[in-house]
Structures are given as structure tokens and as C-alpha cells.
Chain A
Amino acid sequence: MTNLEFTPLVFAISAVAGCLGALTGLGGGVVVTPALTLLLGVDIRYAIGASLVSVIATSSGAASAYVREGYSNIRIGMFLEIATTLGALLGAFLATKTPTAILSVIFGLVLLHAAWQSSRGRSQDEKSKKPDALARRLKLDGSYPSPEGPRAYQVGHVKTGFSLMFGAGTLSGLLGIGSGALKVIAMDQAMHVPFKVSTTTSNFMIGVTAAASAGIYLSRGYIEPGLAMPVMLGVLAGSILGARQLIGAKVPVLRWIFAGVVGVMAVEMIVTGVKGNL
């Protein structure tokens, strides 16, 4: 296959991945990397390098669509980015030293659990929600637009969320993905942030997290221009399309898509890990 054939093919795969990534807040990387390695036989290190770069494009390209709607919370994002960027540095450093086949299986299991949780939906039990002193001090509480006007929400379990975000950052740096799934879980399920606020804030954070490990990837030679070019452009085009869809999407539909994508990813990760290909 010549570059003239390879490039459009990679662009098309990446566009689909970017669309799904923006739609679910997962980022396109999780779909791009398995597709490049399994379908096209690309070395995993080149794949995660291109994927990581595309993740920045997904996040940044879709941000303006989300922000105008007023869902994302800049304070939650900035505070938690301390955890995700530190994790991302650790992940990128660990990338060459950890048997990623094992990690891949663990990651797959975590995602299976997430898919199950997500398809069930969060329990609407509000009484367990006690105010979090740290959340108040950091001014994390906010409001989001609803048909009945701005709706206030309170953030809980800040420390748990912060720890989960460190884990999400580590996986992002290790596997070249946005770790959007874990970021959404940390906010939506651990910190009781409303789902749409979680997905849009997660999307906002993904780019910063990925930028932290991108420098390390670059210096290691993971970012190959001929491959990263169609991946980045494809994911960007797809993510802009996906972000347009999100605004009109209903939360239960979003949850269902989210669960489905996470489930497929989980199986993919486990199979790849067991084969020891990653």
C-alpha cells in the first residue's frame, strides 16, 4: 500500500473514531489505536503517538461547541488537571517499562465495570449527598442550563475524584488515550457532577492531560508525521461532527451509547492484552 492509499484509509478510520469520541466524551484515541494496530498492523508505539496527538485535537476542537452551551466547569477541570497531568507524566515514563499486556487486561475489566454502571444509570438517591468542605473552598459547585433555567449542583467526594483522576492521567500517558471514560466516571459517579457537565468538562481536560505526555512521546520518537497527519485531521473532522450531535442528544441516549462504546472497548482491551500484542 502506498501513502496515497494509506493516508485516506487512516483518515476515514480516524474520522469515525473522532465522531464517537466527541459524542461520548471518551476521545477518539481508544478507537484509533486498536484500529491502526489490528486492521493495519501499525506498531503500537506509532499508533499511541498519533492517537495522543489526535486526542488533543478532539478535545480542543470540540471545546467551543460545549463551552457556549455553558455545561463545562472550568474550576473542576483546572483543579483536577493537577491530578491528570501528574498522572500523565508518570504514565508516559512508565510506558516502556510496564508490561502493558497485563495493564490492558486490567483496564479492560475497569471499562467493563464502567459500561455496566453506565447502562444502569446513576441512582437518583440524593440523600447521601452531604456538602463537601473542600468542594466549597475550591468553589467547585456550579450550575448548568436546563429548560427550567439554571440548575445548581453540589460536588462531593473531591479527594476520591482527585485520586481517580490521577489514575485516569496515568492511563492516558501510558496508552495514548484521552481516558475520557475514567474522567467521566470520576466526576459523574464519584463526585456526583451532572452527566453532561462531566462529559463536557472531561472533554475540556483531555487535551491538557494529553499535552503533558505528548512532549515525552515526541522525544521518544512515537510521533511519526506521515501517520499522525491523517489521524489528527480525521479525528478532528469527526469530533466536530460529533460535538454538533451532542448538544441535542438526550441523556439516556448518551448513556446508552457510552455504555456500548465502553463495552466494546473493554472486550478489545482484554483480547489484545491476553494475546500480548499491546
Chain B
Amino acid sequence: MNDHRLEVIISVLLRTGVLISAAVVLLGGICFLSRHGHEQPDYRVFHGTPAIYRSVSGVIHAARPSNCPAVIQLGLLLLILTPVARVAFSLAGFALERDGAYVALTSIVLVILIYGLVGPH
């Protein structure tokens, strides 16, 4: 394992994550447009998305074919998780390279990301 090989593997991981999330968002989007296509969107006034779309657990529970916006939200969540997976994978890569300093630095980044995702806001 060297840095360039690690970067190439990570880039494949990133692309895969983006493709999967884009496919889920697209499916949710087609579903959304077929059911809500003739409704008027209202994004001029901020109400905030409904509570079930605001947390990782809420989105996972709500995502089913009957709930199109939740399927989109699930895809977006997968997208948000992609860089987190990238950092986790880098951590493993630096561990394989036996690079203690970068294992430590990468762990810090991972902790910050997890805090951002599930920490108390």
C-alpha cells in the first residue's frame, strides 16, 4: 500500500458512493415528480423539512416506495456518508502503511465528522 494506490482505491469508493446515492435520489425524484409533479413547490418561505426528514434514523424509517421524498432524502444521506466512508477507509490505509501520525490525524477528522452527523445539535 502506498499513497497513490490508496488514493486510487478511495476515488473508486467515492465514485461508487456518489453513483449509488445519485441512483437513489433519481429514483426518488422520478417517484416524486410522478406523484407531486403538478403541485406548486413552495420554497420561498422557510418552514424547515418535516421532523422525520431531519435525522439519520428518521430518514431510514421513513424511506419506502410510498414515501418518495424520504427516498430522495435517503439518497442524500448516502451522499453525506460517502466522504465519511472515505475518511474511514483512509484510516485503514494509513494503518496498513503503519503511519501512526496519519492514523491519529485521520481519526481526529473521523471523530469530527461523526460528531457533526449524530452529535447533539
Chain A hits for B79, CB < 8 A: 53, 56-57, 60, 232
Report chain A residues within 8 Å CB of B76: 53, 223, 225, 228, 232
Using known A-B contacts A43-B43, A223-B53, A225-B69, determine if residue A233 contacts B7 with beta carbons closer than 8 Å.
Answer: no
Inter-subunit contact A215/B72 (CB<8 Å) = no
Q: How far is the CA of A211 from the CA of B118 in the complex (A)?
A: 12
Q: How far is the CB of A92 from chain B (nearest CB, A)?
A: 8
Give every chain B residue within 8 A of A63 (Cβ-Cβ).
Answer: 10-11, 14-15
In whole Å, how far is B2's beta carbon from the nearest beta carbon of chain A?
Answer: 10
Chain B nearest CB, measured from A13 CB (Å): 14
In the bound complex, residues from chain A placing their C-beta under 8 Å from that of B72 are 225-226, 228-229
Query: A264 within 8 Å of B by Cβ?
Result: no
Q: Once bound together, how far apart are the Cα atoms of A221 and B7, in whole Å?
A: 34
Question: From DSSP, what is the main secondary structure of chain B's interface residues?
Answer: helix
Q: Is the CB of A236 within 8 A of B108?
A: no
> Contacts A67-B10, A215-B118 known; A3 to B80 CB distance under 8 Å?
no
B105 at the interface (CB under 8 A from A): yes
A76 to chain B, nearest CB (A): 11
Q: What residues of chain B have their CB less than 8 Å away from a CB belonging to chain A?
A: 3-4, 6-8, 10-12, 14-15, 17-18, 21-22, 25-26, 28-29, 32-33, 36-41, 43-50, 53-56, 69-70, 72-73, 76-77, 79-84, 86-87, 90, 101-102, 105-106, 108-109, 112-113, 115-119, 121
List A residues at the B interface (Cβ < 8 Å). Answer: 1-4, 6-7, 40-43, 45-46, 53, 56-57, 59-61, 63-64, 66-68, 70, 72, 74-75, 78-79, 81-82, 85-86, 88-89, 92-93, 137-138, 207-208, 210-216, 218-230, 232-233, 236
